[in-house]
Amino acid sequence: MDEAQMTRARERIGDSNHHRAMALRCAGCGANLEVEPDVDHLTCGYCRTQQEVVRRGGVVRLQKLEDAIALVQRGTDKTAAELAIPRLERELLEVDADRKRQIATPIRVPDRTKLANAVITMMIVSSVGFFSMIALMNKDVTSGFLIHFAWVVWLAGVVGSAGGWVFLRVLRRGDRDKAKAQRDAEINEAAASEVRRIREALAAARAVVGARG
């Protein structure tokens, strides 16, 4: 080894001691790349892959930049998913509680106004018959056409109004049952679609947490 070679060798040693440049394998094409210690990011001169210098646990390696971003992204996703799970579980309970509350709410149905008016009319008719009977008896009329007519009017009014009232009740119950069945079906359908959406989100969140955890 002559003087010039010795100098070059010394320079090389001095160089490498000073910079501690490392030969790292490109994460893209596998080429050996000289990496200076102060370099955090580089682009491979052969394959143009952008990479990050990862120094961890005394090991230095190159990692594709999109991988690094993806890892951070996945870490963020995992944290978000972990936070989302209890919220979504709470939402599931809330949806069901809401559904029960809505179903328990009394339903309003339109009045059967015509029939109700007919019942009231029959009550008035029965009162007219009743007071006519009283008036006739006060005048000592205890037999004959008039008192029989008043009696028939009173009886017809009582029967008509009582029957009409029962019929009205039955009809209104039917109206209410029908309206409630329809309303409850709508409530249940809306709740079911909410539950489906939340369960899908929950499954996705659990998959993210499970896959990384």
Query: Least CB distance from residue 41 to Zn ion, whole Å?
Result: 14
Q: Residues 129, 135, 141, 145: what is their CA dihedral angle, to the nearest 10 degrees?
A: -30
Return the range that interacts with Zn ion (CB under 5 A); candidates 8-16, 38-46, 55-63, 138-146.
Answer: 38-46
Q: In the chain, what's the furthest Cα-to-Cα distance?
A: 159
Burial class (CB in 10 A: 0-12, 13-18, 19+), 182: exposed
What are the DSSP calls for 168-210, one per residue? HHHHHHHHHHHHHHHHHHHHHHHHHHHHHHHHHHHHHHHHHHH
Q: Which residue in the set 34, 41, 46, 72 belongs to the binding site for Zn ion (CB under 5 A)?
A: 46
Q: Which of residues 68-107 bind Zn ion (CB under 5 A)?
A: none
CB 99 within 8 Å of CB 198: no
Q: How far is the CB of 63 from Zn ion (least distance, A)?
A: 13
CA-closest candidate to residue 201, choices 87, 94, 70: 87
Compare residues 45 and 174 and give the one whose CB is closer to Zn ion. 45
Measured at CB, which residue is nearest to Zn ion?
A: 44
**Contact stretch for Zn ion (CB under 5 A) within 10-18, 45-53, 91-99, 119-127:** 45-53
- Tokens encoding 183: 């309303």
Pick from 42, 44, 153, 205: which binds Zn ion (CB under 5 A)? 44
* The pair of three-digit structure tokens given for residue 109, joined into one six-digit string: 């149905």
Residue 62 binding Zn ion, by CB under 5 A:
no
Instruction: Figure out which of the listed residues 6, 47, 135, 170 binds Zn ion, where binding follows CB under 5 A.
Output: 47
Minimum CB distance to Zn ion smaller for 34 or for 177: 34
Q: How far is the CB of 32 from Zn ion (least distance, A)?
A: 10
Q: Give yes or no for residue 207 binding Zn ion (CB under 5 A).
A: no
Residue 29 contacts Zn ion per CB under 5 A = yes
Binder among 21, 22, 28, 102 for Zn ion (CB under 5 A): 28
Q: How far is CA 176 from the centre of its chain?
A: 29
**Ranges within 165-194 binding Zn ion (CB under 5 A):** none
Which has the closest alpha carbon to 150: 171, 126, 169, 166? 126
Residues that bind Zn ion (CB under 5 A): 26, 28-29, 31, 44, 46-47, 49
